[in-house]
């Protein structure tokens, strides 16, 4: 499952960040998941529950922030309404995705010894 490999990469990243800062444990993680990222928040949470055992994240809560898709014109930056034709009425440029395809580790709260 796609979400499993994302969680594994996430945990590896958190472990190296924690090691770098001499952290004893991690209290909380915040991850932004775009609506068009292809990641299911439910599956991600489930995968996290499975993989966090015996890692530095064993007691860390995972907060998932959903990010809605947002489109804009690459020339004039006009935002597009949801469901609108994805071409700018002013510039005739095709819309560009400005947000919604991301998978970002926003924040790690850790306890430093």
Query: x/- site string to Zn ion, residues 86 to 105, per CB under 5 A?
Result: --x-xx--------------
What is the pairing mode between strands 23-34 and 61-67? parallel
Q: Which residues contact residue 89 at a Cβ distance below 8 angstroms, ignoring those fewer than 6 apart? A: none
CA distances from 107 to 7, 10, 83, 89, 97 (A): 15, 12, 32, 38, 24
Identified binder of Zn ion from the candidate list 1, 19, 27, 76, rule CB under 5 A: 76
In the complex with Zn ion, the residue whose CB is nearer, 65 or 77, is 77
Piece of 22-30, 52-60, 66-74, 97-105 that binds Zn ion (CB under 5 A): 66-74
Which residues of the shown chain bind Zn ion in the complex (CB under 5 A)?
73, 75-76, 78, 88, 90-91
């Amino acid at each position: 499952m796609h979400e499993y490999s994302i969680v594994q990469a996430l945990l590896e990243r958190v472990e190296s960040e924690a090691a770098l800062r001499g952290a004893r444990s991690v209290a909380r993680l915040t991850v932004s998941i775009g609506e068009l990222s292809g990641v299911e928040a439910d599956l991600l949470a489930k995968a996290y529950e499975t993989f966090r055992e015996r890692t530095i994240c064993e007691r860390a809560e995972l907060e998932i922030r959903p990010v809605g898709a947002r489109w804009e014109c690459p020339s004039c930056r006009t935002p597009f309404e949801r469901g609108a034709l994805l071409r700018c009425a002013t510039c005739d440029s095709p819309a560009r995705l400005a947000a919604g395809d991301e998978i970002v580790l926003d924040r790690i709260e850790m306890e430093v010894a």
